[in-house]
Chains A and B, each alone.
Chain A
Amino acid sequence: MATVKIIDPVTRIEGHLSVQVTLDAVGGVQQVTDARASGTLFRGFETILQGRPPTDAPHISERICGVCTVAQGLASVLALEAASGLTVPDNARIMRNILNGADFLHSHILHFYQLSLLDYMDGPARGPWAPTWSTDKRITGSAASTLFSHYQTALDMRRKAHELGALFGGRMPHPPSTVPGGFTTTPRAARISAAASLASELVSFVQGTYLPDVETVATAYSDYSAVGAGPRNLLAFGVFDLDTAGSSKLLRRGRAEGGSTSVQALDVNAITEAVTYSWYQDASPVGPSAGTTVPSYPKNTSAYSWLKAPRYSGKVYEVGPLARMWINGSYTRGISVMDRHRARAQEALLIAQAVQQWIPSLSSSGSVYNQYTVPSSASGVGLTEAARGALGHWVSISGSTLSRYQVVTPTCWNASPRDDKGALGALEQALVGTPVTNADEPVEVMRVIHSFDPCLACAVHVARPGKGATVTRLGTAC
């Protein structure tokens, strides 16, 4: 008989997530046969932004997420600039790239060492590293000691990534410097030389420590190169503009279906959001430019998340570093838990090296800002990437104030609930089929969840057991 397990809270993520899995034996192997991912936090940013001056938007938007703060602010100004047909000076474009690149590096390093590694080995025997599940920790002894020393080094390196960002951003997180029309900071010579030094350290760390450590884990857990595939549809908005128009990017825009390496064009109008299983007022799936965010709680017994369910042409897509590297033709090894870690680390190197090249291309005497004037009526879309995947802001301005604001975050794509057709979200699909050896310590489920690097600052949870299932609690009783 099936057993339902609820992991609540899911830790080592940003925000509030609960995951419910149904476990059953299939072909003699206990595995996940059904999954529900529930976002358990409602924040209502879309409502908060309505009625504000457009220049408030980047400051408020950044606070959607303390981990990928730069990308949120960037999506916001890209939407405002699109609404005004405004471009920015090269210096501003390059400083935005460096700032966002630094934020990606902080996030990727944090994700592997602080958020993921403890699914594969133990830390010191004190909080916050203990207590912990003991099931299937294959990295022990001196290998674990070495990796934990790298855990500490990684804390220093992610801090330095934020220092690199702050040299141009002003401070991290939540920098004030990305504004519609460009950037506020001037790339003074002292900043350029300090940034070059930090970028060099980061390249060395990613190349000499992060990438080898991912291989150490991937070798010890080679079975996880065949676990957690998910929908095998991959989508990227692309990021790091290499020209003024943004037509050329370091990581390009596109999508791929069914694990194909053939990349197709992306039509933003094919994106819709379903709310059938979300705590919002029911509506047919519509695009974000027409969407509303009216909370409805309690709603009915089938709703289980504060996340909406974004779909592309009605299909479920995965977003994130693997999707970006895949669409870019830079990584095609496979789609799995370990492939997500490998692609993320390889992307970190690609970005660190690009940042290293961008820094000396700044002109200390060049302009950083083109005058932005708030339009009385306009609308625009800002598409970019946060560390954990495709990010879009849809903005409408009326009477010189924000009349509509909709955000589709990466984790909405990855950790979405079922859609109007009942199709499971990407993480839910990736969980189904995952073998679980000890139902009381389902560390395998955590590995699949963490491979997506979920960030739920923009949503949350309540999961209910299905019919015919026995519900038991995880771990020891309180």
Chain B
Amino acid sequence: MQISRRLFLKYCGASSLVLASCGIDSRGPDGSLEQRDDLASVLPPGAGARVIWLTGSGCGGCSVSFLNRFSTTAPVSAADVLMNVAVVGFQPVIMAAAGDQAVAAAEAFYAGGEGTYVLVVEGAIPTAFNGAACVLWRDASGQDVTVLQAVQRYAASATAILSIGTCAAYGGVSAASPNPGAVQGLSTATGLKTINIPGCPPHPDWIVAGLAGVLSDAPMSLDAQGRPESIYGSNIHVSCPRNQGASTVFATTHGVDNQCLRQLGCRGPVTTAPCPSGLWNNGRNWCVDANGPCVGCTESSFPQVGLRTPV
């Protein structure tokens, strides 16, 4: 991983500030970022951090959110990640190859041996019907390969395992009660330690920060739910601009600006994520500024029955 680490440090501005510089930009409400570096030229074939990105039971929203990456600090965009940082052997939403050729691409990375690639998993792991509720492909012998079997195979040799999104991290919507597919998060299904980047979807900066953390030597401190503390360190309600302490005004109906949404079922008080400072979609907005109560999508309890029940 020497090349990838050097590249990442270069792209992230070097030093131990990898997570800060590569990950979370803090911006004001009008702080959308329109200045950006030009994309560097495409790396030669094979250069870059090797990534296998599998999709289990989910909606594809994590991939879509990753494509929304935009930053003034490199990697400036998803295209920058794909062309200059990572070499993605398998990512079913965007890869050119299909069928056996696609499977062979993942197998080629696997054949590189222990510690030569990062495994990224989006979506959860169904265990009902012997895993047949989510079949990824057929292998060379004509056998169905379930997502459970695939993650067990590729996780064993991976440098690190990133569970991207609440489904991969904890089961999420895919495992919602009564969980007809007997769906589990990756760590529970495999018994392996994962670095969890929850969110439904996770912010693209969190995904990039997670990847940067794995590829650098900077130590990544995880909280009790396996989340990097550098990303998931702050409670939404505590850092919410609508929380004005004793002078807080509480909204009792939808469509009213600047009022605390707690009585409408906002889960900010029990949710940790940097949404109030990082904002979403290039600093354009975030749920609460749109008067949308926080749905608690980064928590392992998401989505409990009664999403709008006040906490």
Taking Cβ atoms with an 8 Å cutoff, the residues of A that contact B are 6-16, 18, 40-44, 47-48, 51-53, 55-56, 59-60, 63-67, 69, 106, 110, 114-115, 118, 122-133, 152, 155-156, 158-159, 162-163, 165-177, 179, 181-186, 188, 190-191, 194, 295, 297-298, 306, 367-369, 371, 446, 455, 457, 460-462, 471, 473-478
Contact = CB atoms under 8 A, between A and B. Distances in A.
A106 B61 CA distance: 13
Contacts of B295: 59, 176
A153 to B, nearest CB: 9
A132 to B, nearest CB: 4
A130 B57 contact: no
A476 to B, nearest CB: 6
Nearest to B172: A63
A177 B77 contact: no
A66 B60 contact: yes
B98 interface: yes
Contact of B255 (A6, A169, A176, A367): A367
Given A171-B287, A174-B201, A128 B82 contact: yes
Interface string B107-137: 1000000000000000000101100111111
Contacts of B68: 159, 162, 172
Interface in B136-189: 136-140, 142, 144, 173-174, 176-181
Contacts of B97: 11, 130-133, 475
Interface of B: 30, 32, 39, 42-48, 55, 57-65, 67-70, 77-79, 82-83, 87-105, 107, 126, 128-129, 132-140, 142, 144, 173-174, 176-181, 200-201, 253-257, 280-282, 284-295, 297, 303, 305-309
A408 B72 CA distance: 42
Contact of A131 (B105, B173, B181, B291): B105
Contacts of A460: 133-135
A159 B67 contact: yes
Nearest to B53: A128
Contacts of B44: 126
A63 B59 CA distance: 6
Nearest to B251: A184
B45 A130 contact: yes
A99 to B, nearest CB: 10
A306 to B, nearest CB: 8
A178 B255 CA distance: 11
Given A166-B285, A181-B254, A158 B87 contact: no
B264 to A, nearest CB: 9
A44 B60 contact: no
A47 B141 CA distance: 35
A176 B290 contact: yes
Contact of B290 (A106, A126, A185): A185
The 7 closest A-B pairs by CB, nearest first: A66-B61, A176-B292, A170-B290, A171-B280, A166-B281, A44-B180, A475-B101
A48 B103 CA distance: 32
Nearest to B63: A66
A128 B107 CA distance: 14
A369 B59 contact: no
Contact of A53 (B45, B133, B292, B306): B306
A173 B287 contact: no
Contact of B138 (A8, A63, A131, A156): A8
Nearest to B36: A156
A56 B64 CA distance: 23
Contacts of A53: 305-309
Nearest to B135: A40
B270 to A, nearest CB: 16
